[in-house]
Structures are given as structure tokens and as C-alpha cells.
Structure 1
């Protein structure tokens, strides 16, 4: 019994020491979305402890733990209505749950090989889900000044194309923008994204990784903001940041 008490006391002391060694920080991701996390007191650049991204309605969008600036354990990702979109186990590097695609987000997937009816196919998946995982793609987009949004208050039938390699890396990010007499393809420098933003679970056909394209229907409003599928609510928050 004494041994058990000593062990328990040691664990409590360790927990207190860990708590004292970290401080909480808050970072605005958008006007309505804030990330709360802990960093090492000795090195504020290193995340260590609980991380939560929350909407201003106090609804969690992402929740999990960091250990020495690395995600560990099981993380949960939600949409803006609180629906679970994805669970990912960073210790095992395994996706444990992915919500089905729906007609709201409109994501479509194409592969570099012909798919037969008898093939077993898995789509490319962004770790972080089809909401939190795509936030930084939205902020990367900037409508070039030569496009007249005043005479064309809303561009429709636009598509975002993300090319994902067999190794699960983002290889290209293109906006297909309709213009008079045809279309304009706008490529973006993906080096502006973090390495984490470039990581996907690759598509497979019969267990073999293949290149794949994620096609996302979207539109651009009169202020040049990008809206696609289920992310419209997040975009609305971002628009308010510029006001």
C-alpha cells in the first residue's frame, strides 16, 4: 500500500512539474476561430500539452495533445456544427474514423489510373478533415488584381484542384477560373504552406498508392474571397477579419 501511495505521489509531483513548465497561449486563426494551446516555458516555440481550436460559440473544431511540438495520441476534428469529421491516431499514424463525403462539400476525386468496377479504391484524405484541414488553403488564395470583381461580382463554376502524389504529398494547387472566351488556370506557390499542410493520406487502388486529384467546386465573391463547399462558414469568419 505504501509503495502504491509513493508511486501515486510521484506521478502527482511529475504532473505538477509538467504543468509548471508550460504556459497557455491563444492564437487567432480567424476572427471567430481561436487556437488555445500550451508551450514550454523554457521555449515558447514548442507546443506541449492540450491543443484546441474553437469557434467563438465555444465549439471545438480540433482537439488533441502535443508533446515537444509533435502531435501525439488521438485527435478529433469537427465541422462548424459540431459534427465529427475525423479521428486520427498520431501515435500509430492511423486514421480511425472519416465521415462520409456529402453533397454539401461537393468534393470529387480522380485517379491517374483507370478504375474498374471490381477495384477497391480509397480517396486521398487530408489529415484534419474537410474543415479544419483545409483552412490554410483558403488563406493562401488571393484573386489577382487584373480580375474585375466589380463588373463580375461573383465568379461561379470555379474549381479548386489539388494534386496529391502517391507518397501523400501535395504536388500542386490550381484554381480553374472561367473567363471570357475560355478559362484561366491560376497556380499557387505551395511552399507558402507548412509541411503539415502538404501531407495527405494517399489514394490507393487495390492497396497500391496512386496519384489523385481532389476537385472542389467553389466561387469567388466580389471581394475576391474563395468559398468552397462546407467551408463557407469559415470563410465568412475570414471575411470579417478584413473589415
Structure 2
């Protein structure tokens, strides 16, 4: 009887081990960004379970962390396109551990509806996921409007205006399309925020004198000749100064 019980336990463990077999999946998020994640064979192939990485141009790590049943857990690390650490975020307690200083110039700018005097203290909204990877879900939602299917696509600038509530929720997205150098909108439309997951609509809200307030984030993007969108890369002032000095 004892041998039978041991044999049954072995069969059960063997079956459980096979059921928990880890397999790796790969998806393209936007033109230059791919993700690789682990899942298990008993779940839907897109349910993330295990180690996750996202890459820029297939080699530079943009995001690194772990999923359990499609939920981010533990500490995640987020990087810029050049591999610079941008953010560390703990999803177990929803706490920002590190946020890199913003480069100047930056494709992101921020507004709150308060006049800031010398003694006031204001903080900008923060997107878990960093100032590049965290905004990819909104880039994925971009669709090329009719009438823009021409060879001049790389001459357009795309500006996302994201409205963030005092509770840190994405309330609205407005897309402005203009020609480079004109500053004049040629097309304006809204993206339905219901397209995004709860995680994709989560922000750390802006504050004014330690009180959460509504804010706007302005994200500058550009199109390439194929109609693919990406956040506009602006050369930081330090790199520009180094380049001028060497030349």
C-alpha cells in the first residue's frame, strides 16, 4: 500500500511538472521594440508567467522584470533607448524606487492648472515604466488617418496630450498632427482610453504643495516613411556640446 501511495505521488508530481513547463513567447510591440516573456503550457499563450524582457532594436534592454498570472510583481527596471537606467519600480507595493533626471531637451513636457510661485513646490506626473517604455501602449494605439498615405510622412510631428486625474488615472488622450516647423495642427483626434488595460492607465499623479492635482503630459513623436510612430529622439545638450567641441 505504501509503495502504491509513493507511486501515485510520483505520477502526480510528474504530471504537475509537465503542466508547469515554461515556454518563451516573442511579440513585436512597435517597429523597433520587441518583447520576450515566459508563459506556461496550461495557460493562454499570451498570459505572462515568469521573466519578461523588452528590447530596442533587438539588443538594448528597455524593461526587465517578472510576471505572475499576467500581473507584474517585484522590482522592475526600465531603460532608455541607449541603455541608460530610467526607473526602478516595485509593483508589490506600487512604490517608485528611482526616477532618472529628465534630459534637456526632452520629448515630454508637463502642465498643471496652477500658477507656481517661488515658495510653491510642484512635482510632475510619473508613468510607471519610465519615460520611454511606459508610453509604448499609447504609441501602439496610433492609427494613420486617411489622407496621410504619401511619401512625406517623416515630415509630420505627432503630439500626444495625456490628461491625468488627481487620482493618477489616464482620463483622456488627444492626438495632434502637424507639419514640422509649422506648429499648426492639420488633424486632431481622440483615442478611446477604454482601449487600454488598467495597468496602462495608471500614473503617479502630479502634486502641488504636496496635494495631488490634475495634470497634462505632452509627448512629442514622429513618423517614419512607413507610417510607424516613435517618440522623438532629441539630442541632450551635453551630447550636443561634446559634439560641437570635437568638431
TM-score relative to the length of structure 2: 0.75
CA distance in 2, matches of 1:25, 1:109: 38
1:135-174 matches, within 5 Å, as 135-147=136-148, 149-150=150-151, 154-156=155-157, 158-174=158-174
Residues 92 and 175 of structure 1: CA distance in aligned 2, closer, same or farther (over 3 Å)? same
C-alpha deviation, 1:32, in angstroms: 4.8
C-alpha deviation, 1:147, in angstroms: 4.0
CA distance in 2, matches of 1:22, 1:105: 43
Aligned to 2:196: 193
CA distance in 1, matches of 2:36, 2:232: 26
RMSD: 3.0
Residues 18 and 66 of structure 1: CA distance in aligned 2, closer, same or farther (over 3 Å)? farther
Aligned to 1:23: 22
C-alpha deviation, 1:217, in angstroms: 2.9
CA distance in 1, matches of 2:159, 2:147: 19
C-alpha deviation, 1:110, in angstroms: 0.2
CA offset digits 1:96-126 (Å, max 9, x no partner): 0111111253311000222222122111111
CA distance in 2, matches of 1:74, 1:56: 24
Residues 227 and 56 of structure 1: CA distance in aligned 2, closer, same or farther (over 3 Å)? closer
Aligned to 1:41: 41
CA distance in 1, matches of 2:35, 2:149: 35
CA distance in 1, matches of 2:22, 2:166: 39
TM-score relative to the length of structure 1: 0.76
Q: How many residues align?
A: 216
Partners of 2:222 and 2:232 within 8 A in 1: no
**Which blocks of at least 5 consecutive residues in structure 2 are unaligned?**
1-12, 236-247
CA offset digits 1:24-51 (Å, max 9, x no partner): 2222224653322222332235422211
Partners of 1:142 and 1:225 within 8 A in 2: no
CA distance in 1, matches of 2:107, 2:225: 22
Residues 134 and 109 of structure 1: CA distance in aligned 2, closer, same or farther (over 3 Å)? same
**Which blocks of at least 5 consecutive residues in structure 1 are unaligned?**
1-13, 233-243
